[in-house]
Amino acid sequence: MPEKTDISVVVPAWNEEESIAELSEWISRVMNEYGFTYEILVIDDGSTDGTWGKIVGLSSANPNIKGLKFNRNHGKSAALDTGFRHAQGEVVITMDADLQDSPDEIPALYDMIVKDGYDLVSGWKKKRYDPINKTIPSKFFNYVTRKISGIKLHDFNCGLKAYRNNVVKNIHVYGEMHRYIPVICKWYGFNKIGEKVVEHRPRKYGKTKFGLERFITGFLDLLSVTFVSKFSKKPMHFFGTMGTLSFLAGFFITIYIIFRKLWSLYHHLPFRDVTDQPLFYLALIAIIIGVQLFLAGFLAEMLTMANEKNTEYLLIDKVGF
């Protein structure tokens, strides 16, 4: 019978050849100090530097270190999702590869999952070493996400998180949804979500991989994950409601226009032809949109009934498995 693995550490890495060895050594030191059985899963997200060579060398020296390599850069969400599928630990820890997350936080996060019974614990970088052009938009989006999702977290996008194993095996992270993993977990029914203040370290190597555009895409992703979480299993509730309102608005406006013309004819009053009134065309558009929304709802319902297949990412190499 294979030995139980206490902790899997999932580390997405994109052009992090300078930091990956130091991070792996630090994680291993913490694990050995606390007597954890562990594995470190490093996902090379299509790096163009020597990151993969570093991973191969580390894996040959330490069997607890395993690597997976993408054929190209798929993004952090794809790397996390792939790491989740391969993780064997009772508790799964995620952290960034740039040494801004401290592995010293791992034992406390592990205890919150195992002893306190949380499904997910998200780090909160209360004191940050990021420039103001990152911290202020981040606070705004965290506030908006908190209000929309109802999850009381201060830092949804913190890379340092801990999960119960059955959580990562049941969620699917895609696109750029890694920012909203707590929202996805809540959508899947994992509602015991906690938070822990964690150390945020200054960047030691390289430069940030994210620009200001992430805040625009982040807002769009929030709308997407909110919509999907509420209506993915009942799309007709959304499209049908919107279609009904649009159709009824157009229908009653049309009835009003026709009634007013008949009223004017009956009382020998001047009137305009129905087709001469701009309001008629607005009503016609509303009716057409209403019908289209109904059709969209029916098609969405049919797609929902179909068997869903998880997205597969092309791995071109593995080591340590």
Q: Label residue 310 by pLDDT band (50, 70, 90).
A: very low
**Total domain count for the chain?**
2
Going by C-alpha positions, the residue among 41, 49, 160 that lies closest to residue 100 is: 160
Whether 248 has a pLDDT exceeding 70, the answer reads: yes
Window from 88-102, 173-187, 293-307 with minimum mean pLDDT:
293-307
Q: Label residue 1 by pLDDT band (50, 70, 90).
A: very low
Structure tokens at 43: 């996902």
pLDDT of residue 40: 97
d(CA 19, CA 58): 12
Let me know whether 119 and 170 are in one domain: yes
pLDDT of residue 144: 82
Q: Label residue 232 by pLDDT band (50, 70, 90).
A: low
Please indicate, yes or no, if residue 316 is contained in any of the structural domains.
no
Let me know whether 142 and 225 are in one domain: yes
Whether 246 has a pLDDT exceeding 90, the answer reads: yes
Whether 108 has a pLDDT exceeding 90, the answer reads: yes
Contacts of 18 (CB under 8 A, 6+ apart): 205, 206
Let me know whether 278 and 162 are in one domain: no
pTM above 0.85, yes or no: no
Structure tokens at 70: 């993408």
Instruction: Tell me the mean pLDDT in the region 303-310.
Output: 55
Contacts of 46 (CB under 8 A, 6+ apart): 14, 69, 70, 71, 72, 73, 74
Whether 211 has a pLDDT exceeding 60, the answer reads: no
Please indicate, yes or no, if residue 312 is contained in any of the structural domains.
no
Local structure of residue 39 (DSSP, 8 states): E
pLDDT tens track for 12-34: 999 999 999 999 999 999 999 99
Let me know whether 296 and 248 are in one domain: yes
Query: What is the domain-level CATH number for residue 132?
Result: 3.90.550.10
Buried/exposed 134-144: b ≥16 CB within 10 Å, e otherwise: beebbeebbee
Whether 221 has a pLDDT exceeding 90, the answer reads: no
Range of the domain at 294: 235-305
Please indicate, yes or no, if residue 284 is contained in any of the structural domains.
yes
Task: List the alpha helices (DSSP H) in 71-163.
Answer: 76-86, 106-114, 132-149
Whether 258 has a pLDDT exceeding 80, the answer reads: yes
Task: Determine the 3-state secondary structure of 196 from DSSP.
Answer: strand
Let me know whether 64 and 163 are in one domain: yes
Whether 8 has a pLDDT exceeding 90, the answer reads: yes
